[in-house]
Amino acid sequence: MTTTVRGQSTIWSMRGLIWNFARRDLKSRFKGTALGWAWSLVVPLSTLLIYTIVFAVIFRIEPPPLGNGRPGNFTLFLFAGLVVWTVFANGINTGILSLLTTGGLLKKVYFPSYAPVLGSVIAVLAQSAIEVGVLLAIMVVLGNTSWTYLLVLPWAVLFVCFLSGLVHALAVLNVVFRDLSHIISVVLQLLFYLTPIIYSLSFIPEAWQGIPLRRIIGANPLTEFVTAFRNCVYDLTPPGFATWIALAAWTAVAVGFGVLVHRKLGLDLGERL
Amino acid sequence: MSDPGLSFTPSASEALVEEPSITVRNVSKAFRMHTERRDSLKERFIRGRSRGHHTFQALDGVSFTIPRGQTYALIGHNGSGKSTMLKLLAGVLRPDSGDVIADGRISALLELGAGFHGELTGRENIYLNAAILGLTRRETEQAIDRIIDFADIGEFIDAPVKTYSSGMYLRLGFAIAVTVDPQILIIDEIIAVGDEQFQRKCFDYLHSLRRKGTTIVLVSHALGIVEEMCEGAIWLDHGRMRKVGPAREIVRLYLDEVNATEIKLASEAAGADAPDATEEADASPARGGSGEVRVTDLEFVSAAGVVAPVLLTGERATFRLHYEARKPLEDVVFGLGFFTETGINVAGPNSGSGLPPVPVLAGRGTVDFQVERLTLSPGSYGVSTAVVSHSHTFDYIDRGFQLAVRGSAGGEPGLARMFGGWSAGPATVQPESSETSRSLDPPGQQPIRRPSEPATPHPTETAHA
Ligand SMILES: Nc1ncnc2c1ncn2[C@@H]1O[C@H](COP(=O)(O)OP(=O)(O)OP(=O)(O)O)[C@@H](O)[C@H]1O
Ligand SMILES: [Mg+2]
CATH code at position B72: 3.40.50.300
**Chain A nearest-CA residue for B121:** A24
CB proximity B106 to A under 8 Å = yes
A112-136 pLDDT, tens per residue? 999 999 999 999 999 888 889 889 8
B343 and B239 within one domain? no
| Residue B432 pLDDT level (bands cut at 50, 70, 90) | low
| Residue B447 pLDDT level (bands cut at 50, 70, 90) | very low
Instruction: Name the residue at shortest CA distance from atom 17 of ligand 1.
Output: B83
| Residue B190 pLDDT level (bands cut at 50, 70, 90) | confident
Closest CA to A218 of A231, A210, A227, A208: A227
Domain that holds residue B289: 285-406
B12-31 pLDDT, tens per residue? 444 444 678 899 999 999 99
Residue B314 counted as domain residue: yes
User: Cα(B121)–Cα(B116) distance, rounded to whole angstroms?
Assistant: 9
| Residue B439 pLDDT level (bands cut at 50, 70, 90) | very low
Domain boundary among B374, B406, B438: B406
B236-284 pLDDT, tens per residue? 999 999 999 999 899 988 988 887 887 777 777 766 654 444 444 444 5
CATH code at position B302: 2.70.50.60
Q: What is the pLDDT of residue A37?
A: 78
Distance B113 CA to ligand 1 centre (A): 18
Does B91 contact A3 at a Cβ distance shorter than 8 Å?
yes
Domain boundary among B284, B309, B341: B284
For chain B, the domain total comes to 2
State percent of chain A over pLDDT 90.
Answer: 49
B217 and B362 within one domain? no
**Chain B nearest-CA residue for A22:** B128
* Residues belonging to chain A: 273
A135-169 pLDDT, tens per residue? 989 999 988 888 999 999 999 999 999 999 999 99
Contacts of A150 (CB under 8 A, 6+ apart): none
Residue B58 counted as domain residue: yes
Min distance B36 CA to chain A CA atoms (Å) = 13
B381 and B271 within one domain? no
Q: Quick one: DSSP state of residue A52?
A: I
B208 and B250 within one domain? yes
B298 and B256 within one domain? no
B329 and B272 within one domain? no
Residue B200 counted as domain residue: yes
B353 and B263 within one domain? no
State percent of chain A over pLDDT 70.
Answer: 99
B213 and B84 within one domain? yes
B310 and B210 within one domain? no
CB proximity A179 to B under 8 Å = yes
Which residues on chain B are in Cβ contact (under 8 Å) with A270? 87, 92-93
Higher pLDDT residue, B37 or B345? B345
Q: Give me the total of CB pairs closer than 8 Å, taking one residue from chain A and one from chain B.
A: 101
Instruction: Name the residue at shortest CA distance from atom 11 of ligand 1.
Output: B58
Residue B384 counted as domain residue: yes
**Strand arrangement, sheet containing B71-75:** B106-109, B184-187, B215-219, B71-75, B232-237, B240-246
User: Cα(A26)–Cα(A5) distance, rounded to whole angstroms?
Assistant: 31
Instruction: ipTM value, please give it.
Output: 0.81
Does B94 contact A13 at a Cβ distance shorter than 8 Å?
no
Residue B443 counted as domain residue: no
Ligand whose nearest atom lies closest to the CA of B110: 2
Q: Establish whether residue B81 lines the binding site of ligand 1, counting it when its CB lies within 6 angstroms of any ligand atom.
A: yes
**Chain B nearest-CA residue for A111:** B132
Min distance A7 CA to chain B CA atoms (Å) = 9
Q: What is the pLDDT of residue A22?
A: 92
B136-154 pLDDT, tens per residue? 888 889 889 999 998 889 8
| Residue A89 pLDDT level (bands cut at 50, 70, 90) | very high
Min distance B340 CA to chain A CA atoms (Å) = 41
A14-29 pLDDT, tens per residue? 888 899 899 888 887 7
Instruction: Name the residue at shortest CA distance from atom 18 of ligand 1.
Output: B81
| CA-A271 nearest atom, ligand 1 | 1
Best of A107, A271, A272 to mutate for ligand 1, by most ligand atoms within 8 A of CB? A271
B293 and B365 within one domain? yes
Higher pLDDT residue, B280 or B288? B288
Residue of B34, B92, B141 to mutate for A, most A C-beta atoms under 10 A: B92
Residue B253 counted as domain residue: yes
Instruction: Name the residue at shortest CA distance from atom 22 of ligand 1.
Output: B83
CA B207 to chain centre: 19
B300 and B382 within one domain? yes
Contacts of B258 (CB under 8 A, 6+ apart): none
Residue B264 counted as domain residue: yes
A168-179 pLDDT, tens per residue? 999 999 998 889
Q: What is the pLDDT of residue B279?
A: 41
Which of A5, A102, A177 lies nearest to residue B40, judging by beta carbons?
A: A177
Q: What is the pLDDT of residue B39?
A: 60
